């Protein structure tokens, strides 16, 4: 069986280092591994509109930002198809048929949707489109017969929903769709990077994100003002590394080589953590180290972004070409789906013959 990747992001803002360690970096590695027959990366504008219906301009403006972030991380349009969700109408049509296979109560149990409803104060009036976006996400995945979906763990419920739809579809209409597997980051710290303020999630509205497109100075300032252990007041105090965002970021980003280069007094992160825990290690020193580690990772991304920013029409062209290819692929799946559901009347010669017999005999 072919190995196919599909994943994507909502274009509601520039991508940050949480997206990077949680998913983007992995996508580039998967792309470069050469193990996949096809890779589709989708800018999920239609999904972004499910909770931004009154602000289409925000979604529109951020499409190019996300595309630039993709390209600057090393996604290569010669290998990876990057496309815009709304430009592939087959996805909407699939959603319409899948809706018949999912119950309202099943949707209500989705923990990610539940917490999003709370976050957005939708309790009293949930838009139907938003409520059903897990079904539309199943269309995104199955339209490309994806086998592998590299995403963060908050997407687990969507993958479970997708698998259920696939099983249900195949059992009702015959083997047609492919059951996908989720691919989670293997480093625990990468599962969900906290905000620079220590809050559980990086979010634009909280202003606690480090963006891939931040300048060197912006990154430095954000790192130096990061939240740490609030009880670690003086250098000599023992500190706590658990739940301490500076150390979580180090868990996600630093490697032993970084110590040799920027902090040779320590061999590795375990030694640094031990010193911090014991007391006698100041936050500023750890933050300076983190800044060096982050800058090393982000500098090549910034440089590539600058190059792509010089030719924005070319970036839109990449998305246009990608969307055409994605549409052709999704159209083949939709044809399979309609054939399986027997709603392919005009190519169904048996049906036409049978009906004609009924009326002529
Ligand atoms: N839900 C994802 C997010 O919030 C975006 C997305 C839409 C997606 N369709 C997808 C991710 C299909 C993986 C597969 O970022």
Bridge partners, residue 149, by sequence? 182
Q: How confident is the model at residue 35 (pLDDT cuts 50, 70, 90)?
A: very high
How many A from CA of 83 to the centre of ligand 1? 13
**The pLDDT of residue 291:** 98
Angstrom distance (rounded) from CA 102 to CA 180: 18
Q: Collect all residues with Cβ–Cβ distance below 8 Å to 154 and sequence separation of at least 6.
A: 112, 192
Neighbouring CB atoms inside 10 A of 354's CB total 10
Neighbouring CB atoms inside 10 A of 106's CB total 14
Question: What average pLDDT score do residues 83-107 get?
Answer: 97
* Residues 151, 119 contacting (CB under 8 angstroms): no
Angstrom distance (rounded) from CA 301 to CA 304: 5
pLDDT tens per residue across span 305-329? 999 999 999 999 999 999 999 999 9
Bridge partners, residue 181, by sequence? 148
- Helix or strand run (H / E) with residue 48: helix 45-49
- Whether residue 73 is predicted with pLDDT greater than 90 in this model: the reply is yes
Is the CB of 143 within 6 Å of ligand 1? Answer: no
pLDDT tens per residue across span 123-177? 778 899 999 999 999 999 999 999 999 988 889 999 999 999 999 999 999 999 9
How many A from CA of 130 to the centre of ligand 1? 13
Which of 15, 30, 137, 138, when mutated, tests ligand 1's pocket best, judged by the most ligand atoms within 8 Å of its CB? 137
Interior CA angle at 116 toward 114 and 118, to 5°?
Answer: 75
- Whether residue 122 is predicted with pLDDT greater than 90 in this model: the reply is no
pTM of this structure: 0.93
> Which of these ranges, 34-48, 85-99, 179-193, 218-232, has the smallest mean pLDDT?
179-193
- Nearest alpha carbon, ligand 1 atom 5: 9
Interior CA angle at 23 toward 21 and 25, to 5°?
Answer: 60
User: With the CA atoms of 313, 314, 319 and 320 taken in that order, what torsion angle do they form, in degrees rounded to the nearest 10?
Assistant: 70
Which of 4, 6, 10, 203, when mutated, tests ligand 1's pocket best, judged by the most ligand atoms within 8 Å of its CB? 10
- Nearest alpha carbon, ligand 1 atom 3: 9
* Residues 304, 76 contacting (CB under 8 angstroms): no
- Whether residue 216 is predicted with pLDDT greater than 80 in this model: the reply is yes
Question: What average pLDDT score do residues 84-94 get?
Answer: 98
pLDDT tens per residue across span 234-257? 999 999 999 999 999 999 999 999
Distances, alpha carbon 261 to alpha carbons 53, 93, 266, 296, 334, in Å: 49, 54, 10, 11, 53
pLDDT tens per residue across span 268-277? 999 999 999 9
**The pLDDT of residue 80:** 98
Atom number in ligand 1 closest to CA 146: 14
Q: For every residue of 255-272, which 3-state class applies, written as one string?
A: CHHHHHHHCCCCCCHHHH
- Helix or strand run (H / E) with residue 150: strand 148-150
Phi, psi of 149, deg, nearest 5 = -125, 100
- Whether residue 48 is predicted with pLDDT greater than 90 in this model: the reply is yes
Is the CB of 47 within 6 Å of ligand 1? Answer: yes
- Whether residue 191 is predicted with pLDDT greater than 80 in this model: the reply is no
Q: How confident is the model at residue 282 (pLDDT cuts 50, 70, 90)?
A: very high
**The pLDDT of residue 146:** 98
pLDDT tens per residue across span 335-355? 999 999 999 999 999 999 999
Angstrom distance (rounded) from CA 338 to CA 176: 10
**The pLDDT of residue 319:** 98
Q: How confident is the model at residue 218 (pLDDT cuts 50, 70, 90)?
A: very high
């Amino acid at each position: 069986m072919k190995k196919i990747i599909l994943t994507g992001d909502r274009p509601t803002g520039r991508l940050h280092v949480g997206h990077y360690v949680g998913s983007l970096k992995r996508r580039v590695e998967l792309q470069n591994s050469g193990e996949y027959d096809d890779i589709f990366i989708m800018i999920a504008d239609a999904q972004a509109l499910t909770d931004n219906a009154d602000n289409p301009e925000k979604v529109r403006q951020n499409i190019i930002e996300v595309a630039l972030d993709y390209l600057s991380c090393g996604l290569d349009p010669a290998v990876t198809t990057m496309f815009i969700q709304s430009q592939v109408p087959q996805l909407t049509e699939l959603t319409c048929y899948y809706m018949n296979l999912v119950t309202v109560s099943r949707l209500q149990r989705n923990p990610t949707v539940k917490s999003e409803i709370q976050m957005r104060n939708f309790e009293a009036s949930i838009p139907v489109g938003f409520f059903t976006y897990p079904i539309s996400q199943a269309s995104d995945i199955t339209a490309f017969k994806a086998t592998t979906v590299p995403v963060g763990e908050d997407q687990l419920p969507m993958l479970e929903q997708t698998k259920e739809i696939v099983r249900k579809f195949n059992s009702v209409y015959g083997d047609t769709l492919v059951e996908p597997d989720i691919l989670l980051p293997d480093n625990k710290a990468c599962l969900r990077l906290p905000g620079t303020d220590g809050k559980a999630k990086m979010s634009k509205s909280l202003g606690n994100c480090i963006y891939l497109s931040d300048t060197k100075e912006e990154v430095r300032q954000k790192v130096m003002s990061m939240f740490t252990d609030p009880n670690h007041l003086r250098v000599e105090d023992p500190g706590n590394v658990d739940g301490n965002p500076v150390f979580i970021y180090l868990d996600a980003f630093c490697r032993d080589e970084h110590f040799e280069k920027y902090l040779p007094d320590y061999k590795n992160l375990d030694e640094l953590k031990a010193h911090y825990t014991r007391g006698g290690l100041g936050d500023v020193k750890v933050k300076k180290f983190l800044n060096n580690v982050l800058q090393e990772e982000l500098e090549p991304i910034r440089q590539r972004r600058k190059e792509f920013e010089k030719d924005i029409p070319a970036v839109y062209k990449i998305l246009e070409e990608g969307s055409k290819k994605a549409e052709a692929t999704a159209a083949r799946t939709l044809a399979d789906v309609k054939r399986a559901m027997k709603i392919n009347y005009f190519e169904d010669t048996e049906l036409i013959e049978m009906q004609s017999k009924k009326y002529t005999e």
